[in-house]
């Protein structure tokens, strides 16, 4: 069974391009969802393990510092015993000092080893989180792309598919096809009505303009005839007046 580190390394090094290609070919983001699920589980396990190792690092560091401090104090005490000529006590203290220094060294080595492990786990956690964030973003982009492509595909094939749907024996499918046809017919009818209304408005406007033109012609003709009659009457009156003056 692969270790946690092996599983996380596999997730971190996963080929995202291949994953996206796979999702596009299958028209599904299921492969990305599986990656996200696995990454979330491993990340949770890694965080728990990292916390434990971090606690161990602090414990080892504290133990090392305690023994190192005690060894340093005992080393000073041995100097004092030697100066006072208390060789037996100095020898016993030296033996204990050797033991404390050995323990301090062991704690130091364990601390440093666990510290490296801890930093490695923190680094893996950071990389996995970054990878998880990236794949989540790509998943949303890919999902939108797949939905858009599917919508376009359905739009392009709707009319063609109606005949094949209606030809099937399933009543529900036939009903769906008829429902789609009816909606399309309604749309065509509304478009036709709108077109007819526009044509009628145009014809009405043209007819209205024709009537106005006819009335204008009639108005000019009548006014012109009335003006001509008035001019003729004025000419007759002028001629009669001239004849009367000549007779006088």
Number of domains within the chain: 2
Does 237 map to a domain?
no
Separation of alpha carbons 57 and 53, rounded Å: 6
Does 242 map to a domain?
no
Q: What is the pLDDT of residue 217?
A: 81
Q: What is the pLDDT of residue 23?
A: 80
Residues 114 and 145 in one domain: yes
Q: What is the pLDDT of residue 241?
A: 47
The residue segments making up the domain with residue 52 are 4-167
Backbone angles phi, psi at 221, to 5 degrees: -65, -45
Alpha helices for the chain (secondary structure H)? 4-12, 16-26, 30-83, 87-167, 171-247
pLDDT 10s digit of each residue in the chain, 248 long?
468 888 888 888 887 778 877 887 888 888 889 999 999 999 999 999 999 999 999 999 999 999 999 999 999 999 999 998 998 999 999 999 999 999 999 999 999 999 999 999 999 999 899 888 888 888 888 887 777 767 666 665 555 555 554 454 445 545 544 554 565 456 556 545 654 554 565 456 556 666 667 777 877 888 877 666 555 555 555 444 444 444 44
Separation of alpha carbons 127 and 10, rounded Å: 12
In the chain, how long is the greatest CA-to-CA distance?
186
For the stretch 158-164, contacts whose Cβ atoms lie closer than 8 Å and that sit 24 or more positions apart, written own/partner, are none
**CA-based nearest residue to 121, from 61, 58, 64, 43:** 43
Q: What is the pLDDT of residue 219?
A: 78
Q: What is the pLDDT of residue 139?
A: 85
Residues 120 and 203 in one domain: no
Last residue of a domain, one of 167, 182, 215: 167
Q: What is the pLDDT of residue 11?
A: 85
Last residue of a domain, one of 114, 143, 167: 167
Residues 20 and 96 in one domain: yes
């Amino acid at each position: 069974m692969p270790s946690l580190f092996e599983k996380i390394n596999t997730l971190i090094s996963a080929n995202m391009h291949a994953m996206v290609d796979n999702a596009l070919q299958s028209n599904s983001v299921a492969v990305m969802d599986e990656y996200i699920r696995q990454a979330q589980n491993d990340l949770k396990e890694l965080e728990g393990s990292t916390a434990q190792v971090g606690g161990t690092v602090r414990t080892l560091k504290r133990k090392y510092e305690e023994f190192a401090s005690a060894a340093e104090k005992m080393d000073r005490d041995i100097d004092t015993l030697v100066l006072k000529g208390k060789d037996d006590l100095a020898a016993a203290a030296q033996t204990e000092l050797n033991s404390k220094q050995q323990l301090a060294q062991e704690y130091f080595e364990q601390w440093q080893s666990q510290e490296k492990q801890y930093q490695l786990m923190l680094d893996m956690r950071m990389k996995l989180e970054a990878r998880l964030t990236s794949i989540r973003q790509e998943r949303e982009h890919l999902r939108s792309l797949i939905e858009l492509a599917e919508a376009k595909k359905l739009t392009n094939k709707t009319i063609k598919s109606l005949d094949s749907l209606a030809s099937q024996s399933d009543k529900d499918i036939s009903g769906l096809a008829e429902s789609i046809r009816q909606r399309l017919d309604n749309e065509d009818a509304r478009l036709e009505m709108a077109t007819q209304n526009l044509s009628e408005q145009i014809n009405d406007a043209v007819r209205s303009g024709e009537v106005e033109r006819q009335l204008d012609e009639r108005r000019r003709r009548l006014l012109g005839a009335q003006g001509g009659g008035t001019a003729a009457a004025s000419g007759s009156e002028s001629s009669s007046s001239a004849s009367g003056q000549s007779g006088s």
